[in-house]
Amino acid sequence: MAEQPGGKPLGIFGGTFDPVHFGHLRLAEEAADCLDLTGVRWIPSGQPALRDTPQVTARQRLAMVRLAIAENPTFEVDASEVDAARPSYTVLTLERLRQADQCGRRQPLVLLLGADAFAALPGWYRWQSLLELAHIGVAHRPGFPIDPSRLPAELAACYGERYCTDRSALAETPAGRIASFAMTQLAISATQIRTLLASGCSPRYLLPDEVIAYIRNQHLYPEH
């Protein structure tokens, strides 16, 4: 994309959020600070492309994200994927965001990924097109070191070419660079929370109380 950049970068944070938890929230909050973002747009997936159908509906996952970020003016929700008839491919999401009535072509976008998701990128649909549409901001995640010698070769090569250490580089162009940030390490996963709930154990302090109340009221993730 040979466009001139326009303004501070906007963070784009997609995920299954089944359910949303404090690892997600700190990732978005610290990305905003570390990468000097104007805000973070959360995009819950409808039908995740690379994993089993979640136990709860996309609308319920969306509702939990809305509850979790309600008090944060830097965060916004994009509900467009939730009812989509097709699987949620990130490259198609970014193409949608690049349309003139959305972010347009000049706004720098930073696709936010945890290190596990980043390492798996070569399995994503048209993954090499992602960097034509957005930068990538990779958050450190416990158990998933960002070690180029352990990344798939084509991803390691891409990382070597595009990695930048200076966050201001993300505002200089709309897309194409990779940055990383060492967020507070939280070994929290949605899988762990689903396992706790299925076993009748408390998930408290791993995710917002409002989200736990919603899970209880809607009888999500039942004990078995």
- The alpha carbon of residue 194 and the mean position of all alpha carbons in its chain are separated, in whole angstroms, by 19
Residue (68 or 113) nearer to ligand ATP, CB: 113
Residue (113 or 158) nearer to ligand ATP, CB: 113
Q: Which two tokens stand for residue 215?
A: 């899970």
Nearest distance from C-beta of residue 59 to ligand ATP, angstroms: 16
Give whole-number Cα distances, 207 to 19, 109, 189, 197, 214, in Å. Answer: 8, 27, 10, 12, 12
Q: Which residues of the chain form contacts with ligand ATP (CB under 6 A)?
A: 15-18, 23-24, 27, 113-114, 116-117, 139, 141, 186, 188-191
Residue closest to ligand ATP (Cβ): 114
Nearest distance from C-beta of residue 100 to ligand ATP, angstroms: 28
Q: Are 48 and 55 in contact (CB under 8 A)?
A: no
Residue (191 or 202) nearer to ligand ATP, CB: 191
Residue (149 or 191) nearer to ligand ATP, CB: 191
Residue (172 or 192) nearer to ligand ATP, CB: 192
Nearest distance from C-beta of residue 114 to ligand ATP, angstroms: 2
User: What DSSP string describes 167-200?
Assistant: GGGGGSSSS--EEEE-PPP----HHHHHHHHHTT
Nearest distance from C-beta of residue 193 to ligand ATP, angstroms: 8
List of residues 6+ apart from 17 with CB closer than 8 A: 24, 42, 44, 45, 61, 64, 65, 190
User: Quick one: which of 149, 99, 85 has its CA closest to 119?
Assistant: 149
Residue (3 or 116) nearer to ligand ATP, CB: 116
List of residues 6+ apart from 38 with CB closer than 8 A: 7, 8, 9, 10
Nearest distance from C-beta of residue 106 to ligand ATP, angstroms: 25
